[in-house]
């Protein structure tokens, strides 16, 4: 076997594990906060506040999406539950966009790998996404089969509303003092990890492989434009971002280290933001939406999200440029060259959240047993296979080179 390939293999494996080591505590903190919010805040109030499109309904959908932040598939399920209970299309989509983009753990991961400008872009962009979505839906409402989609969503949901927390009558103060509520937090925390482990594994592995093997000139060819791209070159990059995300199948959490690699190789701010915002236009999400609402509504939602995410990426780029806030690629170019495994704050935070994760897992197993599901469908099974292959790749790569 070629020695340069072996050395690259070792570098790719080391980079993947190093990137995950940098991010583990942030995942743990984000999922802890998310789990606490899911347990201590019920959805009954959400449904009462989210009628047809209006400033108050959209604002409430955005707020409840933020406090219900979760992975894309959990957000899709929550959105369907709200939509079938009578929430309007725009407030429901606002909930979906907020719960996948205005995400606490996502902001932390972005801050670690890309810097504060991207964190600001993520949260400001999340609000802009929702406002533009509202405008586009209002302009194209006649194309959306809302009644048929709601009927299909109710049929796909069956008898399961997915709303165990709605039966709770206790206040959040009582819940915080309840051992049962904290047991539910532990269960939700474990479930959050179970929902994303395949995406995270594949995403970080791909980022390591790209950092080690893919030359910079390929990125320069794929994402058109040099160091100072013009409007049309920026637009092309913003269009390539969701196309790349569409075919990688990787969720937003797995995309962040790859986004850092892309930015370090010359992709513009607009292209990176479009890439990050594209977690709801990937193939698995399209498939789930089709199962929930039918293919016509699924493609309608896909089209709306594509338009608004490209527009949002362009607005952010020129807005940041206006205030001279565009970040330098130098700040992320060294991500894969740094010393990953050293005794610093990351080490102690990782130890703390590893202990918390083990404790929650043991508590969850003791109360409700252990269940492990690969996931139904060709894509989920394929992603599981890729994750297992990634573990084998990493295990061998750490001992070669």
Report the C-alpha gap between 320 and 312 in whole angstroms: 12
Q: Could you tell me the two tokens for 232?
A: 């049309």
Tally of structural domains, the chain: 1
Q: Which domain holds residue 307?
A: 3-158+167-397
Task: Output the pLDDT for position 355.
Answer: 96
Q: Which range is most confident: 44-58, 198-212, 385-399?
A: 385-399
Q: Tell me: the pLDDT tens digits for 128-169?
A: 999 999 999 999 988 999 899 989 988 876 544 444 444 456
Q: What is the pLDDT of residues 271-306, one digit of tens each?
A: 999 989 988 887 767 877 888 899 999 999 999 999
pLDDT digits (tens, 9 = 90+) for 70-99: 566 667 777 887 787 778 899 989 989 998
d(CA 17, CA 341): 9
Decide: 131 and 57 in contact? Cβ < 8 Å.
Answer: no
- What is the spatial distance between Cα 148 and Cα 288, in angstroms, rounded to a whole number? 16
**Average pLDDT of the segment spanning 188-199:** 81
54 — pLDDT class (breaks 50, 70, 90): confident
Looking at residue 283, its pLDDT comes to 74
């Amino acid at each position: 076997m070629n020695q340069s390939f072996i050395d690259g293999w070792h570098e790719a494996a080391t980079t993947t594990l190093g990137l995950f080591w940098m991010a583990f505590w942030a995942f743990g903190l984000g999922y802890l906060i998310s789990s606490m919010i899911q347990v201590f805040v019920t959805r009954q109030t959400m449904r009462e506040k989210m009628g047809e499109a209006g400033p108050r309904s959209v604002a409430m959908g955005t707020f409840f999406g933020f406090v219900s932040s979760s992975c894309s598939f959990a957000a899709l399920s929550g959105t369907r539950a709200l939509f079938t209970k009578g929430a309007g299309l725009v407030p429901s989509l606002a909930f979906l966009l907020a719960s996948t983009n205005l995400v606490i753990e996502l902001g932390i991961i972005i801050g670690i790998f890309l810097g504060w400008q991207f964190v600001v872009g993520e949260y400001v962009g999340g609000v802009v996404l929702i406002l533009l979505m509202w405008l586009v839906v209002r302009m194209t409402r006649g194309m959306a089969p809302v009644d048929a989609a709601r009927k299909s969503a109710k049929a796909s949901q069956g008898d399961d509303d997915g709303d165990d927390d709605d039966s709770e009558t206790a206040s959040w103060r009582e819940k915080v003092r309840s051992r049962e509520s904290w047991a539910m937090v532990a269960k939700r925390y474990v479930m959050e990890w179970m929902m994303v482990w395949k995406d995270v594994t594949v995403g970080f592995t791909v980022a390591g492989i790209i950092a080690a093997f893919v030359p910079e000139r390929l990125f320069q060819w794929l994402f058109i434009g040099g160091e100072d791209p013009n409007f049309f070159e920026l637009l092309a990059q913003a269009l390539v971002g969701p196309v790349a995300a569409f075919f990688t199948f990787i969720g937003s959490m797995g995309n962040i280290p790859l986004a850092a690699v892309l930015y370090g190789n010359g992709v513009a701010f607009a292209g990176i933001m479009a890439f990050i915002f594209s977690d709801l236009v990937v193939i698995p999400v399209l498939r789930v939406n089709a199962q929930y609402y039918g293919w016509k509504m699924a493609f309608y939602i896909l089209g709306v999200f594509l338009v608004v995410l490209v527009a949002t990426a362009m607005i952010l780029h020129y807005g940041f440029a206006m205030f001279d806030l565009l970040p330098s690629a130098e700040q992320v170019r060294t991500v894969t060259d740094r010393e990953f495994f050293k005794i610093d704050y990351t080490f102690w935070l990782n130890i703390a959240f590893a202990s918390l994760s083990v404790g929650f897992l043991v508590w969850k197993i003791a109360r409700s047993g252990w269940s492990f599901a690969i996931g139904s469908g060709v894509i989920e099974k394929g992603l599981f296979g890729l994750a297992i292959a990634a573990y084998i790749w990493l295990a061998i790569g750490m001992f070669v080179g």
